[in-house]
Chains A and B, each alone.
Chain A
Amino acid sequence: MRRDIDLGPLHRLLDLVGTAGAALLLETLIDDMKSTQTGLDKAWSGPDYTQLRAHSHTLIALAGTVGDSDLQTIAQQLNTAANAEDKEQIAVMRLIADQKTADLIAALTRLHLDAGA
């Protein structure tokens, strides 16, 4: 089931950049989210802890910037687990993060479509 995400901070940023800038910002955010998701998948297959740390760090920043506090919290827990190289915890947190990232990408895509891009 898709979760409700309060994207208040993102809407304030979209207002700031204006209509033309909004489409570009949404596209860029979606691209960055997808790259991060792919990066985490790839890092987990190693596992490559350095990359897991780097991508979870990026996920914290992206989720927080748009206002997705659920994903931000999970990304912080994933980052802590990656720093501790706690494989078991990473496995759990990565799955949750992956689902929540997918939800956020879907929400951003809907916004992008609504913006008429």
Chain B
Amino acid sequence: MGRHPASRDIARSNILLIEDLPSLQLVYKSVLMAAGHGVRVASTATEGMALFLESSPDVVLLDLVLPDRDGLDVMHDMLALHPDTAVIVITANGSVNKAVEAMRAGAHEFLVKPFDEQRFLGAVENAASDRIARRGPSPQIAKIAPPTQASTSGAFIGSSEAMTRIHSKIRSVARSMATVFITGESGTGKELCALAVHDNSNRAAGPFIALNCGAIPQDLLESEVFGHMKGSFTGAISDKPGAAAAADGGTLFLDEICEMAPALQTKLLRFLQTSTVQPVGATRPRKVNVRIVCATNVDPLDAVRRGQFREDLYYRLYVVPIHMPPLRERGEDVIEIAETALARFAEEEGRNFDGLAHDVRAMFRRHPWPGNVRQLLNVIRNVVVLNDGGIVTKAMLPGDLAQGETALLLPNSAASLETSLDALVGKTMAEIEQIVIEATLACHGGSVPKAARVLDISPSTLYRKIEGWAKI
């Protein structure tokens, strides 16, 4: 068994191994030393803490079951003393929940026994590179990363209690490698949340790659995520690195993760375990250093129960959950967002608006906003484009909204469909299709995957149609 190929770059990392079983100590130590790392070994929590204080290791490999103390408590103490230490917890099958708890408490990674050499070295080497990145970034890079409050995007404006909690969570989780799982209705700003995690992390100078798993045809998704080699299939006219490789050193955001095909879920799990990607048609895997942030607008646990999402992948990804609240639960944020958007859009369009009338504010507070921030921004954009300026009154709002109905905010409003089929007579099949699709989307808060399910077509087909209308 040779030296691990990826170990050359970060050889001689200073590693502390805390494992009570002598044979496993010997195995781990031998593999680490063969890969060029320096290892110190402890058999108990007490001995481990003493070595930790003495040697300030880059990486700690910590068995969660120790004879004298719970491994999680040991990790808490270590991170309190040296928050930048990368702690990898090791546990056996059956205690995955405990490993998830450890990740939430700040562990860098968890490894499930039994020992797997490739996974083991991959985790250690990722942790070591991340530790170097944490120690290394210049103050300039640290300054570039804006605080989450600095964002001017609609979803991140607002001082409601719900958003304050989210800002705080983003700040605490951003510096860890822990996977972030964002949930929330469509239009609540899940991608902006992912971007805020990236911007507040030590990877802010690296790439942020976003991929919508529901928008890409399933047969192309593997190539989009992992890349392909020229000639590996019809149409592969050149090498393509794929999103995972493109995000090397940064963050890979997988939106609508629950829409991913089962076969690709298996490959994603393998990628998460080994940190290697193998493009379609490539003969060798390539190591990458990527932080994963994913999002969905469905209940991921429900997707697991329905058999649509792998349970092991769920546990691997659902480490730090962040739930983006719907706009209707964000109190005065709706006014703050509307006024900020009004000022911004007015500047873009060269108009001069003086704010929102009182009755408009009251209406905005009452409105359920099924399309969330996205819908509110559309309303404001509509007002700015169709009016010259002044105070925004009810009369300036799109008709559906002013009448207190659910705003569709789409051309050829589908509301009229409810009254009679007469509205469709005289229209082309393409127009009718567009009206029905838009109405279905509106009924599902703008969620393409949900609308696609109801219409019994693939989300990618739906995205293509929507894009097609936008070009007309």
Please list the residues of chain A having a beta carbon within 8 angstroms of any beta carbon in chain B: 9, 12-13, 15-17, 21, 24-25, 28-29, 31-32, 54, 57-58, 60-65, 72, 76, 79-80, 83
Contacts and interface: CB of A to CB of B under 8 A. Distances in A.
Interface of B: 1, 21-24, 26-27, 30-31, 34, 65, 92-95, 113-115, 117
Nearest to B117: A12
B114 A63 contact: yes
B93 A60 contact: yes
Contact of A16 (B21, B30, B92, B95): B30
Nearest to A25: B26
A9 B65 CA distance: 24
Contacts of B21: 32, 58, 61-62
Contacts of A79: 92-94
A62 to B, nearest CB: 7
Contact of A61 (B22, B31, B34, B115): B115
B26 A57 contact: no
A86 to B, nearest CB: 14
30 contacts: A9-B115, A12-B1, A13-B27, A13-B30, A15-B1, A16-B31, A21-B26, A21-B30, A25-B23, A25-B27, A28-B22, A31-B22, A32-B21, A32-B22, A57-B92, A57-B94, A57-B95, A60-B93, A60-B114, A61-B113, A61-B114, A61-B115, A62-B23, A62-B24, A64-B114, A64-B115, A65-B113, A65-B114, A72-B114, A83-B94
Contacts of B1: 12-13, 15-16
A54 B27 CA distance: 20
Contacts of A31: 22-23
B92 A17 contact: no
Given A13-B31, A25-B30, A28-B26, 13 more contacts: A12-B117, A21-B26, A25-B27, A32-B23, A58-B21, A60-B92, A61-B24, A61-B92, A62-B24, A65-B23, A76-B94, A79-B94, A80-B94
Contacts of A16: 1, 30-31, 34
B419 to A, nearest CB: 59
Contacts of A15: 1
Contacts of A17: 26, 30
B29 to A, nearest CB: 9
Contacts of B23: 25, 28-29, 31-32, 62, 65
Contacts of A54: 65
Nearest first, the 5 closest Cβ-Cβ pairs linking A and B are: A64-B114, A61-B113, A28-B23, A29-B23, A60-B92
B21 to A, nearest CB: 6
Contacts of B34: 16
A14 B94 CA distance: 28
A12 B22 CA distance: 18
A37 B92 CA distance: 18
A42 B115 CA distance: 27
B22 A60 contact: no
A36 B92 CA distance: 15
